[in-house]
Structure 1
Amino acid sequence: MKTIRFYSILFSLTFICIVSSCKKNTKEKINKTVTEKVVPENLKWSERMVLSEIERFPDPTLLDFRKKPKWSYTPGLVLSACAKVYEQTKNKKYYDYVYAYADQMIDSSGTIDTYKLSNQNLDMIKSGDVLLYLYPKTKEERFLIAMETLNGQLESQPKTSDGGYWHKKIYTNQMWLDGLYMAEPFHTRYAKEYINDKAKQQKIYNDVVHQFDLIQKHSRDQKTGLLYHGWDESKEQRWANKKTGNSENFWSRGMGWYGMALVDVLDFLPENHPRREKIIRYLNQYSEAVVKVQDESGLWWQVLDQPNKKGNYLEATGTAMFVYTLAKGVNKGYLPKSYLNFANKGYDGLINNLITVEDNGIVNLNKCCGVAGLGGKPYRDGSYEYYINELIRSNDPKGTGPFILASLELNR
């Protein structure tokens, strides 16, 4: 009997030790998980998203889920935002990430890998912003040569009969809202910082403003103040209205590109330029139209003016762009302060509805329209059905970049 009691007590003690040890190990594992955050949660959203992007794409040439490096506009968008975060934090990790893209894509002779001037593609200008940022810091001649190449493209870009840049050589006679953001901030800054001939400089400034004039003339709907995604001067495209040449719908990100173009060009267009106030007026008209179609959630719809139509959805990239545009417009004094309420409402909408955070701290931006365009192969007809059925994914750089910029403007 004593033997049975002895083993019973021994078993009980052993069981208690095992349970205690398991609890201790579990607690240690939990504590370890909590303390080992890839992205610390005590940082501002701008920095958290930059760190998340670096984790997702350790090689910046593969931003936008690429398998091979390519000179394109999406790295330029994210890395320009990353550079602004570096300027605030002085965390060299961010600067090195920006530099790594240019270092890999520009060879010692200044040749841009994968870039073809013959394509006359405005999208390819955007990453020139990275070079404009890096060259004054590094003084590497190859970056200057590459910038000169991109500026040269704009000097030879095919134009409509009234002087509007074709979006690409293959998109003849077409202006897209996207193109204003891809080219004009770069062109304006390059003229300001690298062209010493005052006459040539003034010519570029005038040409930049002219691009906005043409978009306002051809693409703005007088009734709503919204702007159509594309305009075909020839009216030959299947997506083009046979009377106006406009595409059919108001696409969220298309309008987002245009808003960012307006506020960013003003960073470099001289304050004494006689047509600067016109750009500010366009921005005010634009902002008035945009806030009228903001959803109660704070977000904006993929097709802006059709919130209740089947298949439409609240979309992240356009929303982030609108928030950035409105916030920066107020911060720079271009817009009434009341617009900051709409910007904050939009930002809250993103955080509450479209941002998720993984256990390791990585931040995700969800419900991003992956891509949308007009024409091409397979043919994109610009219909409502086309816009709502394009790829939807998380962490598209066309959303994460503007989200970082919006976070900076709102200091959130």
Structure 2
Amino acid sequence: MNIKTLCITGALLLTGISVYAQKKKEVINDSNTPLHLLQPAYKVPYKALTTSEVKTDLDRILRYLEKTTPTRVVSEKTGKVITDYNNLPADAQLERGAFRLASYEWGVTYSAMLAAAEATGDADYKKYVTDRFNFLAEVAPRFREMLEKNGTTDPQMKQILTPHALDDAGAVCAAMIKAQLQDKSLNLYPLIENYLDFILNKEYRLADGTFARTRPQLNTLWLDDMFMGIPPVAWYSQLAKDNQQKYLAEAIRQIFQFAERMWVPEKKLFRHGWVESMQDHPAFHWGRANGWALLTMTEVLDVMPENHPQRAKLMELFREHVRGLAACQSGEGFWHQLLDRNDSYLETSATAIYVYCMAHGINKGWLDALAYGPVAQLGWHAVSTQINAEGQVEGTCVGTGMAFDPAFYYYRPVNVYAAHGYGPVIWAGAEMINLLNKQHPKMNDSAIQYYSTEQKTTAPIFSVSESK
């Protein structure tokens, strides 16, 4: 190695040492950096939110559902589309899409679409509902004739014509009542009255009149049935031509009779199931069922007069439930499949229902925006991550029975075709748009804070010396 090469090598070595020393000197620490401003490694978005972002997510779901829930009658044998409903062949059926048009899950979806139309001003959401309701109202009499003539008909239509469970009737009925109240040009009364007849006169009940089932044990209460049975009765009080108060009274009575058996005050949560013959009553706090309970109270409060003598009692139960649920939210914004068991998986549909109910409660003045606005917004950010590019909703637990052991709930599958996720996500997004239009959330010292008025100043920046 000659002198020139040696000098160059030495110079490079000294430069490297100098750079290393400089880098070592600039290591981030408490003395030279405001560490509280470092960017956390969030698993879901944690940031400001705009109505346009929410609308974009909702539109993706709408376009997907428009394609996958057709409104046509076809021949089961040939698949040929039938346009003459007055001459239906014996094998006529609703064209099969990805989801059933009259399942209880789709009843939730119709209610959510109506809410989205109002929140966004986009008529396509309402059109989705009215197109399908008009279609069902038009074909139902023809399928009834087929049923009476042949003793059988398309199972999806039979579920509408001869409901055998609250699942068959309640959620779709409530959505039809809302649609009829909004649009007098619709003629959904025959379907509504048929559903209400089953709910009020044919559904199995306990001796005190509480909606019940005979499975998995005789005289079992399912928390799900609060939503499947109570909202349509409450909403019918707005549509009935006579004795409206009796329907609202029945809805309120059902809520408190469910709560008497299923509310767990120390947890501020509901148990999923209650069996009359049990000496002990295990409490498995299934996420979606608690969502149905909270949504039921939300729906009834919406139609309950401000001066109703039982409104304060129902409002307190609603608020207590919100307090219990807020305490269970995970750091990712989701709620768990079993709410109080953090090793159970994070689930989308329950999370979306809670987001809707909390945001709606804030918008109605029932809940404190400062306390629950950030909870709802974090929940929405979580839910939004489950809307894939196609518009499908991921992470939703499939239909679920009742169990008295944890493994059943822990291992229920999730699926993009679990219809339970779509309505809650649309409803949550619609109400978040309303919330963002009423409130003024802002990042303040790296945290989401809710304000009743717009904050013009920037978030405070604390000096390094300030305690954190």
TM-score, length of structure 1 as denominator length = 0.76
Q: 344, 353, 361: which one pairs with 2:377?
A: 344
Structure 1 equivalent of residue 236 of structure 2: 190
Q: Deviations over 1:107-159 (max 9, x none)?
A: 36496921354624354221113322333425454x11111112222221332
Q: State the secondary structure of the residue aligned to 1:329.
A: helix
Structure 1 equivalent of residue 195 of structure 2: 150
Q: 108, 125, 135: which one pairs with 1:94?
A: 125
Q: 268, 271, 291: which one pairs with 1:256?
A: 291
Structure 1 equivalent of residue 418 of structure 2: 396
User: For structure 1, which runs of at least 5 residues remain unmatched after alignment?
Assistant: 1-39, 236-241, 375-380
TM-score, length of structure 2 as denominator length = 0.67
1:202 corresponds to 2:248 = no
Aligned ranges 1:368-387 → 2 under 5 Å: 368-374=396-402, 381-387=403-409
Distance 1:347 1:165, change over 3 A: same
In terms of mean alpha carbon deviation, does 69-78 or 184-193 score higher? Answer: 69-78
Q: Deviations over 1:224-244 (max 9, x none)?
A: 1111111122x2xxxxxx324
1:49 corresponds to 2:61 = yes
Structure 2 equivalent of residue 219 of structure 1: 262
Query: What CA distance in whole angstroms lies between the structure 2 residues aligned with 1:282 and 1:335?
Result: 12
Q: State the secondary structure of the residue aligned to 2:238.
A: helix
- Counterpart amino acid of 2:263? R
Deviation at 1:274, TM superposition (A): 1.0
Aligned ranges 1:157-176 → 2 under 5 Å: 157-167=203-213, 172-176=218-222
Deviation at 1:248, TM superposition (A): 4.3
- Counterpart amino acid of 2:57? W
User: Are the counterparts in 2 of residues 123 and 183 from structure 1 also a CA contact under 8 Å?
Assistant: no
Structure 2 equivalent of residue 335 of structure 1: 367
User: Are the counterparts in 2 of residues 176 and 230 from structure 1 also a CA contact under 8 Å?
Assistant: yes
- Counterpart amino acid of 1:210? R
User: Are the counterparts in 1 of residues 69 and 101 from structure 2 also a CA contact under 8 Å?
Assistant: no
1:243 corresponds to 2:287 = no
Q: CA RMSD in A?
A: 2.8
Q: State the secondary structure of the residue aligned to 2:177.
A: helix
Q: 325, 338, 359: which one pairs with 1:303?
A: 338
Distance 1:382 1:102, change over 3 A: farther
Query: What CA distance in whole angstroms lies between the structure 1 residues aligned with 2:229 and 2:264?
Result: 23
User: Are the counterparts in 1 of residues 269 and 325 from structure 2 also a CA contact under 8 Å?
Assistant: yes
Q: State the secondary structure of the residue aligned to 1:345.
A: helix
Structure 2 equivalent of residue 231 of structure 1: 274
Structure 1 equivalent of residue 352 of structure 2: 320
Structure 1 equivalent of residue 456 of structure 2: none
Deviation at 1:85, TM superposition (A): 2.2
Distance 1:124 1:247, change over 3 A: farther
- Counterpart amino acid of 2:400? A
Query: What CA distance in whole angstroms lies between the structure 2 residues aligned with 1:114 and 1:302?
Result: 32
User: Are the counterparts in 2 of residues 132 and 190 from structure 1 also a CA contact under 8 Å?
Assistant: yes
How many positions carry a matched residue from both structures? Answer: 345
Q: State the secondary structure of the residue aligned to 2:264.
A: coil
Deviation at 1:189, TM superposition (A): 1.3
- Counterpart amino acid of 1:305? D
Q: State the secondary structure of the residue aligned to 1:51.
A: helix
Q: 308, 315, 324: which one pairs with 1:280?
A: 315
Q: State the secondary structure of the residue aligned to 2:304.
A: coil
Distance 1:63 1:404, change over 3 A: farther
Structure 2 equivalent of residue 65 of structure 1: 98
Query: What CA distance in whole angstroms lies between the structure 2 residues aligned with 1:177 and 1:109?
Result: 33
User: Are the counterparts in 2 of residues 119 and 170 from structure 1 also a CA contact under 8 Å?
Assistant: no
Distance 1:271 1:43, change over 3 A: closer
Deviation at 1:91, TM superposition (A): 4.2
User: For structure 2, which runs of at least 5 residues remain unmatched after alignment?
Assistant: 1-51, 73-93, 145-155, 437-468
Q: Deviations over 1:242-299 (max 9, x none)?
A: 324x454111101111111111111112222211121111111101110111111111
Structure 2 equivalent of residue 36 of structure 1: none
- Counterpart amino acid of 2:303? F
Structure 1 equivalent of residue 164 of structure 2: 119
Query: What CA distance in whole angstroms lies between the structure 1 residues aligned with 2:364 and 2:249?
Result: 22
- Counterpart amino acid of 2:397? C
Deviation at 1:372, TM superposition (A): 0.6
Q: State the secondary structure of the residue aligned to 2:242.
A: coil
- Counterpart amino acid of 1:345? L
Q: Deviations over 1:290-313 (max 9, x none)?
A: 0111111111111111113xxx21
